[in-house]
């Protein structure tokens, strides 16, 4: 039964049929919207229910982030780990070194410290080694995780604690390796997941006493930025106790759609949980086609620029081409063949244009064989920094949808445009204008832990193409504010195949709301983040108290919701 009527200075519905409303009514038991319209219509529907006037607040549908890794992001970016990425306020290595100095001075002697987010190309620093980290942290163990997820740096105290005989690492695990000095001792670097886990997990276990609290802190950060739904794009069942603990709290602020790795075990098995599908929904499966533009591992037809940045990062000029594919077409076809009939949504991590060609070929083949062309399958291509207009047109014609890594333009735009790549490539990175011109409904993401989850920052970039320094990259890729807001509301819901439940304010959908200080349509587009503050969110008709949420999580016995540091870090493939 309708028990709540809200009115605000304006209500932006993101529903094409009725873009603005004066009031909204909902049933807080079911969490569903019952009226969107005028105050009089709400009163007529629910006589006797008081009208709550939110005053100058502007209401919108809660923001949706189409691609994230909330539990992983919590462990890596939230206290007690220190987040040293450029996107979190450390643009140069001098800024990082300054923090290191402060932390070493202010942390009690002997206490280990962990940092995440060292971004060598952007911050302009060579790979730290054990001796260089010893200079910063002479008396304590220090672990520094690379922003990419592909390397960890550590000091001599960590090597001692690992107990490697004579300081020599064991044999390299499959697909990973330990950095070694000429005499076979560790140089303080390890590469790829298995080696990173071996090095970092013992220190992480000592530093992060309550991983669940870290996860809650990241979910809190998302909600504080207006997000009410997201996904875990590298979900594994080892994360389920954490999600169950987080999402079953009374003030849980978020819904999660989960995607297991297509190439991992049991990807199509149902997720066995007592949570409602409204809160935790298994939507699809994920694969990783190629690597990262910041590591030289994207499958691209174009070379890197011969710049100082590229040289210092040790990136081969390339082009990297198909050699950077994680899978061959011969391997991809049977994988898609297996999942196409399951109805699960197929999502692929793609950065390079060659990777996109190969995946579109493979998608088209599988969709045709399984008679899915022309249906509402919505197989996704995610990130796609180097996608060209003709590729996006082709994707749209196949019914494929894009989630764009616009955040790369915000935080790495100056690097991509002219330093990593020639301007004709780098300025067009994350070609949202081309995607919209192709007719696509696009969504955005921050891919936590890769950048802070701030939807309005993505929207601001989409309508201005300005990086954090204010430089404009590829103005022909600007899209209008309506399309940009859709990328974090109704079109993000579409990308998660949840537009019948969330993404706009309409009768029968969940009353997931964000309260804004200012109407984004009336703000200066170049200052959206500054001028439009998030004052709160609602999930299923409940106004969320984020302090309560964190208390509800930290009040739990961690042993009843075990979160294994290693299991979480093992999912670090963004
Ligand atoms: Zn990701």
- For the segment 436-465, what is each residue's pLDDT rounded down to a tens digit? 999 999 999 999 999 999 999 999 999 999
Ligand 1 centroid distance, CA of 29 (Å): 34
Confidence band, pLDDT 50/70/90 cuts, at residue 222: very high
What value, to the nearest 5°, has the Cα angle with vertex 423 and ends 419 and 426?
Answer: 75
% of the chain residues with pLDDT over 70:
100
% of the chain residues with pLDDT over 90:
96
pLDDT value of position 574: 80
pLDDT value of position 547: 98
pLDDT value of position 468: 95
With 90 as the cut, is the pLDDT of residue 384 above it?
Answer: yes
Ligand 1 centroid distance, CA of 233 (Å): 6
Question: What is residue 315's DSSP assignment?
Answer: -
Ligand 1 centroid distance, CA of 449 (Å): 8
Which of 285, 442, 424, 450 has the alpha carbon at shortest distance from 353? Answer: 424
pLDDT value of position 369: 98
pLDDT value of position 270: 95
Confidence band, pLDDT 50/70/90 cuts, at residue 559: confident
Confidence band, pLDDT 50/70/90 cuts, at residue 167: very high
Ligand 1 centroid distance, CA of 147 (Å): 13
What is the mean predicted confidence (pLDDT) over 114-139? 96
pLDDT value of position 206: 97
Query: How distant, in Å, are the alpha carbons of 144, 361, 546, 565 from that of 75?
Result: 13, 37, 18, 8
Ligand 1 centroid distance, CA of 234 (Å): 7
Ligand 1 centroid distance, CA of 151 (Å): 17
Task: Assess contact for 459 and 481: CB atoms under 8 A.
Answer: yes
What is the mean predicted confidence (pLDDT) over 115-128? 94
Helix (H/G/I), strand (E/B), else coil: 27: strand
Ligand 1 centroid distance, CA of 288 (Å): 9
pLDDT (tens digit per residue) in 80-93: 999 999 999 999 99
Ligand 1 centroid distance, CA of 550 (Å): 25
Euclidean distance between CA atoms 278 and 228, whole angstroms: 12
What is the mean predicted confidence (pLDDT) over 237-265? 96
Euclidean distance between CA atoms 24 and 37, whole angstroms: 6
Euclidean distance between CA atoms 526 and 478, whole angstroms: 12
- The better pLDDT of the pair 265, 519 is held by 519
With 90 as the cut, is the pLDDT of residue 51 above it?
Answer: yes
pLDDT (tens digit per residue) in 322-331: 999 999 999 9
Question: What is residue 49's DSSP assignment?
Answer: P
pLDDT value of position 484: 98
Confidence band, pLDDT 50/70/90 cuts, at residue 519: very high
Q: How far apart are the first and last CA of the chain?
A: 42
pTM: 0.97
Ligand 1 centroid distance, CA of 571 (Å): 10
Which of 546, 500, 471 has the alpha carbon at shortest distance from 225? Answer: 546
Ligand 1 centroid distance, CA of 59 (Å): 29
Ligand 1 centroid distance, CA of 58 (Å): 31
Euclidean distance between CA atoms 225 and 536, whole angstroms: 8
Question: What is residue 306's DSSP assignment?
Answer: -
Which residues are CB-contacts of 95 (< 8 A; sequence separation ≥ 6)?
89, 123
pLDDT value of position 99: 98
With 90 as the cut, is the pLDDT of residue 314 above it?
Answer: no
- The mean pLDDT of the chain is 97
With 90 as the cut, is the pLDDT of residue 344 above it?
Answer: yes
CA quadruple 379, 384, 386, 387: dihedral sign? positive
pLDDT value of position 265: 84
Ligand 1 centroid distance, CA of 539 (Å): 24
What is the mean predicted confidence (pLDDT) over 542-552? 98
Ligand 1 centroid distance, CA of 573 (Å): 6
Which residues are CB-contacts of 228 (< 8 A; sequence separation ≥ 6)?
61, 62, 63, 64, 253, 254, 255, 502, 512, 513, 514, 537, 538, 539
């Amino acid at each position: 039964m309708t028990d709540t009527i809200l009115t605000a200075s304006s209500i932006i519905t993101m529903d094409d049929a009725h873009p603005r409303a004066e009031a909204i009514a909902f049933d807080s038991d079911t969490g569903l919207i019952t009226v969107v319209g005028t105050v009089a219509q709400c009163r007529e529907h629910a006589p006797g229910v008081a009208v709550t006037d939110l005053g100058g607040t502007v209401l919108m549908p809660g923001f949706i982030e189409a691609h994230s890794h909330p539990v992983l992001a919590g462990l890596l970016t939230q206290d007690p780990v220190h987040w040293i990425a450029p996107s979190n306020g450390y643009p140069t290595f001098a800024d990082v070194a300054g923090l290191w100095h402060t932390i070493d001075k202010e942390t009690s002697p002997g206490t280990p410290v962990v940092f995440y987010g060292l971004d060598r190309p952007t911050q302009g620093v060579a790979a730290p080694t054990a001796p260089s980290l010893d200079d910063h942290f002479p008396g304590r163990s220090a672990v520094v995780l690379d922003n990419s997820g592909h390397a960890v740096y550590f000091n001599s105290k960590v090597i001692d604690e690992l107990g490697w005989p004579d300081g020599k690492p064991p044999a390299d695990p499959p697909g990973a390796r330990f950095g070694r000095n000429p005499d076979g001792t560790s140089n303080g670097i390890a590469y790829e997941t298995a080696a990173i886990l071996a090095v970092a997990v013992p220190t992480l276990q000592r530093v992060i006493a309550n991983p669940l609290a870290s996860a809650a802190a990241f979910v809190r950060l998302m909600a504080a930025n207006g997000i009410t739904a997201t996904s875990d794009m590298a979900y594994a069942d080892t994360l389920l106790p954490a999600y169950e603990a987080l999402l079953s709290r009374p003030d849980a602020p978020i819904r999660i759609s989960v995607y297991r790795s297509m190439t991992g075990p049991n990807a199509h098995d149902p997720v066995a949980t007592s949570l409602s599908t409204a809160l935790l929904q298994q939507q699809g499966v994920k694969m990783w086609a190629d690597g990262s533009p910041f590591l030289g591992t994207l499958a691209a037809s174009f070379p890197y620029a011969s710049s100082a940045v590229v040289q210092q990062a040790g990136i081969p000029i390339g082009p990297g081409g198909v050699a950077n594919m994680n899978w061959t077409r011969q391997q991809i076809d049977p994988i898609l063949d297996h999942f196409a009939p399951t109805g699960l949504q197929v999502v692929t991590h793609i950065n390079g244009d060659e990777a996109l060609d190969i995946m579109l070929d493979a998608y088209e083949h599988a969709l045709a064989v399984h008679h899915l062309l022309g249906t509402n399958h919505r197989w996704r291509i995610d990130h796609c920094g180097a996608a060209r207009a003709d590729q996006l047109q082709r994707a749209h014609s196949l019914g494929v949808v894009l989630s764009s890594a616009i955040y790369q333009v915000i935080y790495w735009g100056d690097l991509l445009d002219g330093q990593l790549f020639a301007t004709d490539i780098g300025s067009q990175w994350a070609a949202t204008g081309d995607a919209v011109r192709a007719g696509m409904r696009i969504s955005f993401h921050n891919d936590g832990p890769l950048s802070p989850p701030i939807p309005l920052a993505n929207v601001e970039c989409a309508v201005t193409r300005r990086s954090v320094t204010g430089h404009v990259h590829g103005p022909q890729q600007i899209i209008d504010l309506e399309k940009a807001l859709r990328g974090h509301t109704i079109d993000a819901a579409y990308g998660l195949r949840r537009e019948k439940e969330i993404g706009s304010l309409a009768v029968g959908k969940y009353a997931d709301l964000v309260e804004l200080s200012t109407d984004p349509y009336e703000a200066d587009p170049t200052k959206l983040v500054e001028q439009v503050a998030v004052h709160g969110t609602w999930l299923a008709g409940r106004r969320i108290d984020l302090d309560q949420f964190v208390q509800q999580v930290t009040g739990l016995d961690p042993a009843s919701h075990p979160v294994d540091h290693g299991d979480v870090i093992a999912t670090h493939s963004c």
